[in-house]
Amino acid sequence: MSLRLLLPEEGVTELLTTWPDEPRVYERGRTELDETITAEFLKDYTFTGCVPANEIALVRAPGPSLNQNAYMTHGRTDAAKLRKLYDSGFTIRLGNLQRVIPFMTTVSRGIQDETGFSNYVHAFLTPPGSQGLRHHWDQQMAVVVQTAGIKRWQLWHPPVESPMRDYNESWRVWRDHYIPEWEAAGPDLQVDLQAGQSLLLPRGWVHNPHVVDQDEDSIHLTFAIRERTPLWLAEKLIAEAIEDPEFRRIMLPGDITGPTLVDKLREAREALQGHLSNLDLDRLALAVREAARAELEYTT
């Protein structure tokens, strides 16, 4: 069971049965994940230049991510440039390990089999006393697996309700007063996450992670688990409407730009209601369950 590589048994049970809406810290211990994706492995992978350039992000708070040209030469990842930037305090984010490391592909597919949720995994290498990303929130559950060093996570309750892709993402609804207010109030929760521990971080929780230790760097894996929502089910309910010619017929430009648009919307709604009322839900459930295990890019 892949989730057991990230969480102890009680954490897996809690995740699958209650899907917590508040952060949790678990003593993971050492699993096959720790034995395989070691700090040495990730550093070799990074500093030999093997990482695809489009899966790399370099950031040092409070600045934005660097342009790819900062760590590329002749269109390829430049290991020496990466090392120099890391040594100067930049966090290196290695994206989508499930696409490039076979072991992580297996783990990711296992998580999707167990939950019905697609997922991806990023690695973060942060130098001593440094910070990459500043305060932000995400739109999916994250399991943060600390593999080396210690990273401090300052956490605040969600400022928005149930963020999703294209809705309530932090960058879409950001306000300049957020960070000053959070810092003035102090975090609602602070965690010094150590190697062998995992942090369950529900969507919407603001986090400000950084390395306090001036002598030791930090490496962690973030497994982002894209929850399914009723909107996803609604999309599946209407998907087969395309098989009905009525839903494929061409509308005239005047139907969109003219005064009959409300009538056309009403007609489409009535046709959709008829489509939905005639669906074989038992048959559709089989297809939806298979889609949950197979779809890779759907995201909240």
DSSP 152-193: EEEEE--SSSS-BTTBS-HHHH--TTHHHHHHHH--SEEEEE
H helix runs in the chain, sequence order:
3-6, 9-18, 32-36, 39-47, 79-87, 102-115, 170-173, 178-185, 230-239, 253-257, 261-277, 281-294
Per the CB < 8 A criterion, the answer to whether 99 and 182 are in contact is: no
pLDDT at 78: 96
The correct answer on CATH 3.40.50.720 for the domain covering 3-227 is no
Q: Spell out the domain ranges in the chain.
A: 3-227, 231-294
224: closest CA among 207, 203, 205?
203
Q: What are phi and psi of 76, to 5 degrees?
A: -125, 160
Cβ contacts of residue 202 below 8 Å, gap of 6+? 20, 21, 22, 23, 141
56: closest CA among 94, 91, 89?
94
**CA pair distance 225, 256, nearest whole angstrom:** 39
pLDDT at 210: 97
**CA pair distance 300, 230, nearest whole angstrom:** 11
203: closest CA among 21, 30, 80?
21
Q: Is the peptide bond before 62 cis (omega within 30 degrees of 0)?
A: yes
Residue that has been written with the tokens 């390395």 in this structure: 211
pLDDT at 298: 59
Whether pTM exceeds 0.85: yes
10: closest CA among 22, 23, 27?
27
pLDDT at 1: 77
pLDDT at 299: 55
pLDDT at 165: 84
pLDDT mean for each 10 residues of the chain (300 residues): 95 96 96 96 95 96 94 95 97 96 97 96 98 95 98 97 90 93 97 98 98 96 96 94 94 95 96 96 96 79
Structure tokens at 56: 């790399």
